[in-house]
Amino acid sequence: MFWVEIVIFLLVAGGVMTLLRVDFKDFFQLAARGKPSTLKDDIDVMLGKPAKGFFNRETVEIEQLLKTTGREGRFTMVKRLSLLGFSVGVLISILLNNYFLIPVLGAGFAFAPVWYLRSTAMIYKKHLNEELETAISVITTSYLRTGDILKSVKENIPYLNPPIKGNFEAFVTEAEIINANLISAINSLKMKVPNRIYHEWCNTLIQCQSDRSMKNTLPYTVQKFSDIRVVQSELEAIINEPKKEAFAMMFLVFCNVPLLYFLNKSWFETLLFSTPGKLALAISAGIVLFAFTRIMQLSKPIEYRG
């Protein structure tokens, strides 16, 4: 049978790659070769501007997601899982004898690890923003009262939660033992969390070291977290119902294929075995894939752009 030949081919290919000591990384290194990035490209990435090119943009986003969630070492594993997913999608299309499905299923299975990363990163970012809001709120209140940022951080550390608590503990240790320069310690604290409002708060703290009157502007920076949280809640309330309806429609589209076998077997055979039916099935799968991708893009947390 044809699928047996496919399985044998994959096993033989895997054996040859093992004998020749060929690793999946070699393919990714070949695919990643191209025009080296310029200084302008590096600056754009640091400023948060989208990278040029679809694959470059996706690669940068994945690296940033892994760095944000503390999983920098898993980038190679994600690439391997994407390659494996693409192979699975292609294999399923061949087994179904529908070559129109190869790009759709290949892309869908290849992006599955990226979608999982984005969903976990969304949860992490929401939790991080909540903890940041609590942390800088209580520290700002203490700082307005005492005028000493180091003392304010130390007295509020017991009320902080991970992952923010460790950063402020490191700040206290650096300021008291390693480096007595508060500006340098605040800069180190700022670079540990990729959040624009938090960076603005840290920059204001640095200005406060030379101009004490600047500390009165800190509550306005803290208020931005509350504004973002309110907007995020309103956005989720608006999106949730359409998102549920979209997922329900996707489920119905997939369920209709096996359902046709019981309702009308000739229609089922036409859909799976005729060229127009295969093309219609591929188009439907492509629309579902596009819709799911758009839902993932619209579901990510909003960020402050100041």
Residues 6+ apart with CB under 8 A from 190: 198, 199, 202, 203
Tell me the whole-structure pTM to 2 decimals. Answer: 0.63
Residue in the block written with tokens 């219609």: 280
Angle at 193 between CA 192 and CA 197, to 5 degrees: 135
Longest dimension (CA), the chain: 81
When pLDDT is averaged across residues 93-112 and rounded to a whole number, the result is 85
Instruction: Please state, rounded to an integer, the average pLDDT across all residues of the chain.
Output: 77
The tens digit of pLDDT for each residue in 232-289 reads 888 888 888 888 888 888 888 888 888 888 888 888 888 888 888 888 888 888 888 8
Q: Which of 76-85, 191-200, 210-219, 264-273 has the lowest mean pLDDT?
A: 76-85
- pLDDT for the residue numbered 58: 55
The tens digit of pLDDT for each residue in 14-69 reads 655 565 454 545 444 444 444 444 555 444 544 444 445 444 555 556 666 666 55
Per-residue exposure over 73-99, b if at least 16 CB sit within 10 Å of its own CB, e if not:
eebeebbbbbbebbebbbbbbbebebe
The tens digit of pLDDT for each residue in 132-167 reads 888 899 999 998 888 888 888 888 988 888 878 888
- pLDDT for the residue numbered 277: 86
Segment holding 99, helix H or strand E: none
